């Protein structure tokens, strides 16, 4: 039960809130009284907390929130019946903390309790409350937006990374999906879900499909490639490890909101078949991953052909082609920058969700 719902359950009503002041009331009933027949201290505390909080809320911008840090109540008189009236005002307000004070009077005007409280203030940022989905990619030269359908990703495609993850070299590639809502653009923010454990960076070449196809032969596969981007396959490594151990899918550890930053798209005719391109990732300016796409076990044509054996590829689908060695954890405040030769770069900042 939230504080607001709890206050309503008790019967606390806030009557007035304006310019750092508030008034609240409570009609006393039998359920508010303790075994001695006087109002329970917790009821008075709840009335004061709600009214002092309302005074603070009335003094901060509409898009800000506040939460009680501490509440100190002095209980002065017992009260058995009638209407209790609380009044409160803000005493002092800083950038992040506000202090408020107030009291409760009974129907005869006697002060029955008084309180002082401190409140934490913070700006409400709607974009951190709910991810604003941007499920498209942008062509580098023309700015044309292409809606992204599905995002396929390859789980093991560089021998050194397979070795660092403990996979046998001969293992076939693992394909998994991320939802289009995972996309973040250059300059955006990767948000680590609260309590999710370590999140790792994986820089990858991303193929953008330009033409629909099923069972595409390898020698025709490049005709289905519109262009290339550089992307980050952000991974909740601990959750993924738990899923692997139980044989469960990786959906949540790989597909969470903001888990797929992508750059703008360079057209295929300016890039070629995707081989021999330098792929790098820096964390806070320090190089962590650095490889040539020629080190991929399967090249672009082979991957497009492989994926299309079972799944129809459509214009706007993305294919993350696997990451080289050097993956590692990122933290809130880190700046990530991925680059792919001839293609471009993608830079994002890491935040932790509240």
Q: What is the contact surface with Mg ion in residues (CB under 5 A)?
A: 202, 233, 323
Which of 58, 323 has the CB closer to Mg ion? 323
Which of 13, 238 has the CB closer to Mg ion? 238
b/e per residue 34-73 (b: at least 16 CB within 10 A): eeeebbeeebbbbbbbbbbbbbbbbbbeeeeebebeebeb
- How far apart are CB 327 and Mg ion at their closest, in Å? 8
**How far apart are alpha carbons 37 and 35 in whole angstroms?**
5
Place of tokens 């504080």: 3
- How far apart are CB 96 and Mg ion at their closest, in Å? 39
Which of 181, 323 has the CB closer to Mg ion? 323
Q: Which two tokens stand for residue 134?
A: 């941007």
Place of tokens 């075994």: 35
**How far apart are alpha carbons 180 and 150 in whole angstroms?**
6
**How far apart are alpha carbons 120 and 69 in whole angstroms?**
6
- How far apart are CB 202 and Mg ion at their closest, in Å? 4
* C-alpha pair distances (Å), 84 with each of 55, 109, 110, 191, 304: 17, 9, 10, 46, 72
Which of 52, 232 has the CB closer to Mg ion? 232
- How far apart are CB 228 and Mg ion at their closest, in Å? 16
Q: Residue with CB nearest Mg ion? A: 233
Q: Which two tokens stand for residue 237?
A: 């490594």
Which of 115, 206 has the CB closer to Mg ion? 206
Which of 13, 164 has the CB closer to Mg ion? 164
- How far apart are CB 145 and Mg ion at their closest, in Å? 25
Place of tokens 């606390």: 12
**How far apart are alpha carbons 234 and 256 in whole angstroms?**
9
344-352 and 225-232 as β-strands: parallel, antiparallel, unpaired? unpaired
- How far apart are CB 113 and Mg ion at their closest, in Å? 59
Q: Which two tokens stand for residue 337?
A: 């920058």
Which of 119, 250 has the CB closer to Mg ion? 250
- How far apart are CB 321 and Mg ion at their closest, in Å? 9
* C-alpha pair distances (Å), 152 with each of 17, 308, 311, 312, 328: 53, 11, 10, 11, 22
- Cβ contacts of residue 153 below 8 Å, gap of 6+? 175, 176, 177, 178, 204, 233, 254, 319, 320, 322
- How far apart are CB 157 and Mg ion at their closest, in Å? 8
b/e per residue 97-110 (b: at least 16 CB within 10 A): ebbbbbbbbbeeee
Which of 186, 233 has the CB closer to Mg ion? 233
Q: Which two tokens stand for residue 165?
A: 């993850």
- How far apart are CB 320 and Mg ion at their closest, in Å? 6
Which of 233, 282 has the CB closer to Mg ion? 233
């Amino acid at each position: 039960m939230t504080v607001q719902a709890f206050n309503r359950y008790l019967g606390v009503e806030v009557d007035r809130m304006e310019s750092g002041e508030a008034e609240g009331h409570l009609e006393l009933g039998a359920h508010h009284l303790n075994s001695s027949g006087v109002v329970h201290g917790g009821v008075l505390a709840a009335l004061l907390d709600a009214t002092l909080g309302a005074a603070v809320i009335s003094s901060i911008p509409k898009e800000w929130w506040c939460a009680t840090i501490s509440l100190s109540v002095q209980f002065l008189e017992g009260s058995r019946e009638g209407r209790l009236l609380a009044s409160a005002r803000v005493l002092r307000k800083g950038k992040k903390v506000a202090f408020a004070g107030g009291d409760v009077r009974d129907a005869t005007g006697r002060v029955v309790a008084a309180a002082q409280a401190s409140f934490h203030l913070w700006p409400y940022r709607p974009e951190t409350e709910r991810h604003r989905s941007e499920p498209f990619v942008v062509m580098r030269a023309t700015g044309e937006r292409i809606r992204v359908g599905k995002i396929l990703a390859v789980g093991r495609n560089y021998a050194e990374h397979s070795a660092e993850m403990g996979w046998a070299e001969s293992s076939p590639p693992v394909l998994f999906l991320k939802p289009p809502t995972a996309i973040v653009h250059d300059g955006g923010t990767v948000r680590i879900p609260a309590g999710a454990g370590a999140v790792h960076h994986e820089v990858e070449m991303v193929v953008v499909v330009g033409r629909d196809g099923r069972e595409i032969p390898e020698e025709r596969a490049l005709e289905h490639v519109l262009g290339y981007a550089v992307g980050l396959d952000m991974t909740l490594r601990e959750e993924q490890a738990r899923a692997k151990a139980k044989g469960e899918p990786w959906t949540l550890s790989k597909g969470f909101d903001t888990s797929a930053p992508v750059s703008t798209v360079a057209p295929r005719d300016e890039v070629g078949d995707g081989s021999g391109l330098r792929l790098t990732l820096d964390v806070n300016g320090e190089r962590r991953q650095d490889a040539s796409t020629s080190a991929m076990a399967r090249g672009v044509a082979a991957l497009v052909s492989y994926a299309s054996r079972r799944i129809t590829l459509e214009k706007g689908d993305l294919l993350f082609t696997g990451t080289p060695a050097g993956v590692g954890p990122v933290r809130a405040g880190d700046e990530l920058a991925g680059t792919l030769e001839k293609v471009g770069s993608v830079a994002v900042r890491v935040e932790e969700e509240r």
